[in-house]
Structure 1
């Protein structure tokens, strides 16, 4: 009787591999002044995130798409931000604790603000955070939604702050609203902005979005000329986009 014994060995080779080079400088080194790397799983026929020859000119070199690396080191053309409302309403005014802010005629500094919503981001290293937002609001004279008709302007501002990186207001943007007629049409208006923030270390960061309304404050003392206003935020379809770099 004959017995065949098959021995399987796992051999680990620590070496640098060179393609078109005899002196590789990295684990995988592709040499040549004109050489490129082609991964067919990422092309227009195999990847749903590669649009291929989108302009239809049969030139496959002038349609390029971003290449990303996921947490496992895999290469992909799929774009996955931290958060993307992607057409849905990012902030539901009925779901947030407080969606309005009131400014009175007697307000001493001529401004009032409210936190609209909050997002949490956790990073394992220092990073740059990209934030894009588009936040809606409606402007009235008071909580009864009386139409403003006094011809005085109210400034409605939006911005966000991030815990752990100071008190700076990021992405500030403002619009002024005024009306001289009770027949004026009300409805959602929008503030949109983009900002890039350096997150200095690993940890959790709170992104706090604020809305603010302000009007004139009389200079030199002697009281205020601020005008009453009532602003509701997140009344339309809001958009928020978060990405790490």
Structure 2
């Protein structure tokens, strides 16, 4: 069908350099995904919003998340067998890594995966909950990994130290966002990782690392993922 043309080149062809199309079901009056006059200058012409096509081929302003947590706690440390990690004082390289949780993503074409996360953690000197008091620093890091790829995506870390056994032990968070290329159709595993590292001990004759116990996901954690 042609509009402004007798020779349409597609099933629907709107001809003319100034040809436009208007869908009133997508305007700010009829669609709550349309923000209207977001900048408040009284001109709707300079406020635009992305238009998507859903799996049925219908236009929509709403971009659905692939794996939203919807305000729930995505990682419950009481039911995750590997959410806690212990860096032993005899560890030779001063670093230990654990997998906190995983997701499986299946795509039928190459895609881009957007990932945002916030993961909580608490730091102790032992599995008994001993408060650290040696004034030495520990680094607690979180990042994302994709099956078949050795890269660490969206790394976020904090350094923790304490000088007194009376120090307050509190919950902290790492958070980041990243984009991951899914190069072909297939099924991928997205893993949320936790890492703990320490200064090497000054007494190399007896120990090589600083003993550190970290419990990940003790608070309310979130994950947001969507495909492009």
Tell me the TM-score normalised to structure 1 length. Answer: 0.84
Are the counterparts in 2 of residues 140 and 147 from structure 1 also a CA contact under 8 Å? yes
Q: Report how far residue 56 of structure 1 moved.
A: 4.3
Contact 2:200 2:210 in 1 (8 A): no
Shift of residue 225 of structure 1?
3.7
Alignment of 1:224-243 (within 5 A): 224-243=207-226
Alignment size in residue pairs: 227
Q: Is residue 196 from structure 1 mapped to residue 156 from structure 2 by the alignment?
A: no
Are residues 1:112 and 2:75 paired?
no
1:61 alignment partner in structure 2:
45
Partners of 1:109 and 1:56 in 2: CA distance: 56
Match of 2:74 among 90, 94, 116: 90
What SS class does the counterpart of residue 25 from structure 2 fall into?
A: helix
Correspondence 1:122 to 2:106: yes
Q: Which residues in structure 2 correspond to 1:65-84 (within 5 Å)?
A: 65-84=49-68
Q: Residues 1-245 of structure 1: matches in 2 within 5 Å?
A: 17-163=1-147, 165-217=148-200, 224-245=207-228
What is the rounded CA distance, in whole Å, between the counterparts of 1:102 and 1:188 in structure 2?
17
Change (3 A) 1:28 1:224: farther
The verdict on how the C-alpha distance between 1:184 and 1:218 changes in structure 2, with shifts beyond 3 A counting, is: closer
Q: CA deviation at 1:54?
A: 3.8
Given that residues 119 and 174 in structure 2 are in contact (C-alpha distance below 8 angstroms), is that contact kept between their aligned partners in structure 1? yes
In the aligned structure 1, how far is the partner of 2:171 from the partner of 2:47? 38
Distance 2:18 2:71 in 1: 42
Aligned partners of 1:52 and 1:63 also within 8 Å: yes
Equivalent-residue separation in structure 1 for 2:20 and 2:44 (angstroms) = 14
Deviations 1:25-73 (A, max 9, x none): 3322222323322101111121121222344443212322221111111
SS at match of 1:227: coil
For the residues of structure 1 that align with 2:105 and 2:152, how far apart are their CA atoms?
17
Q: Judge which range, 87-96 or 147-156, deviates more.
A: 87-96
Q: 1:9 matched to which residue of 2?
A: none
- Shift, 1:22, TM fit: 4.1
Distance 1:59 1:133, change over 3 A: same
- Cα distance in 1 for residues equivalent to 2:78 and 2:32: 36
With structure 2 as the length reference, what TM-score do the two structures score?
Answer: 0.90
- Cα distance in 2 for partners of 1:142, 1:218 equals 16
Greater Rg over alpha carbons, structure: 1
Q: Distance in 1 between matches of 2:38 and 2:181?
A: 35
Gaps of 5+ in 1: 1-16
Alignment partners' CA distance in 1, 2:208 and 2:66: 44
Q: CA deviation at 1:224?
A: 4.9
**Post-superposition offset of 1:23:** 4.2
